[in-house]
Amino acid sequence: MADLKIQYIPISNIILDPRNPRVAPALESIEGDPPQNFIELALGQFAPDDDERGASTSFSSLKASIRAYKGLINPIVVTPRADGSYVVIEGNTRVSIYRQLAEENALGSWETIPAIVRPDIEEDGEHAIRLQAHLVGPRQWRPYAKAKYLHGLYTEQKLSINEILDYCGGSARKREIEEYIEAYKDMQHHYMPLIGQNQPDYSRFSAFVELQKPRVKESIVKAGFTMEDFAKWVNDSKISPLNTVRQLPRILGNPEAKKKFIAHDAREGMKVLEQPSANAAIKEATIDQLANALASKIRSLNYPDVKALREDNGSPRAQALSDCYEELHDLCKDIGLITNNE
């Protein structure tokens, strides 16, 4: 392997990667390589979300950090071209910020940037660097950008799911990758034709991830609807918040809840399913009380109870258990009780 020591490269010699998955949504309508200034604009627009404050805040926060530190803590990764320039593999946003700070004459040295040069890197090495940094790493792409990149690896590069997992360094979940790829397909096939020439709302992508949860698609078809109907519900904001998609089997399986949902929205449908007398006490319970009660109830199940659930795993009781599992798994992952690949 080539020497990987840090070098200082003039930013004027660096080319932002036009294949950068972070900005891929903004470049979908452009033929050929986009201008560098267009990529810079897109990097600000599609920077990773900073909590609920949006991409521009995250970009500004990173810029402020680099300005205060007067440089980078982590070097970028580039590969050289025959003409003497370098293409960024990892660190496009940081290059863009360096250029802005140089133009603003900010205090510091912004004419060169610390970089690791990879002259002999092959395409699979690029995939590994991107995925480890942005799919499972600290600087994650937005969900739609992740899905677009994963879909490209799977359908265009013909990589298997296990090969993609290997590139991620073993810290991604197979199920999550599969869901993202299928969600991307569904959004392309059903949502994009619906909006036509209008600007897509990429935040709606999470609804199509939820669509991959157990029995959701089946419940839509069983209730007499299509995936085009689902896309219209998402576009018309009939399902809010978007994780309510996983409740569609319950809503569409109840005639009154279904009626309220079609006439109004998913919130109204869910109201029909709630039982105020039972929920009043449940809502007062703490999360640990609920967890202990559920664990105790599950431990007390006898074989006939389990057998009944197994034989009718489409029942409201089974769906409620599935919903509980999904929410509990996501919470345990968020608070660090389980790892990404569990």
For the chain, the structural domain boundaries read 6-121
89 close to 78: Cβ distance less than 8 angstroms: yes
> How many beta carbons lie within 10 A of that of residue 140, not counting itself?
15
CA dist list (Å): 266 to 74, 133, 224: 45, 37, 17
pLDDT single digits (tens) 113-153: 999 998 877 766 777 777 766 666 556 778 888 898 889 88
Whole-angstrom distance, CA of residue 268 vs CA of residue 263: 9
Residues 6+ apart with CB under 8 A from 87: 14, 15, 17, 78, 79, 81
Evaluate whether the domain defined by 6-121 bears CATH number 3.90.1530.30.
yes
What local confidence, expressed as pLDDT, does residue 27 receive?
63
> How many beta carbons lie within 10 A of that of residue 255, not counting itself?
10
What local confidence, expressed as pLDDT, does residue 1 receive?
46
312 close to 318: Cβ distance less than 8 angstroms: yes
> How many beta carbons lie within 10 A of that of residue 302, not counting itself?
7
Which run of H or of E encompasses 117?
strand 112-117
DSSP string, 275-332: -HHHHHHHHHS-HHHHHHHHHHHHHT--HHHHHHHHHTTTSHHHHHHHHHHHHHHHHH
For 42-66, b/e burial (b = at least 16 CB within 10 A) is bbbebbbeeeeeebeebbbebbeeb
What local confidence, expressed as pLDDT, does residue 56 receive?
47
Query: How is residue 78 annotated by DSSP?
Result: E
Report which of 242, 232, 233, 177 is spatially closest to residue 205, judged by C-alpha positions. Answer: 242
Report which of 47, 57, 69, 62 is spatially closest to residue 100, judged by C-alpha positions. Answer: 62
What local confidence, expressed as pLDDT, does residue 342 receive?
56
Q: What residues form DSSP beta bridges with 6?
A: 116
Under-50 pLDDT residues of the chain? 1, 49-57
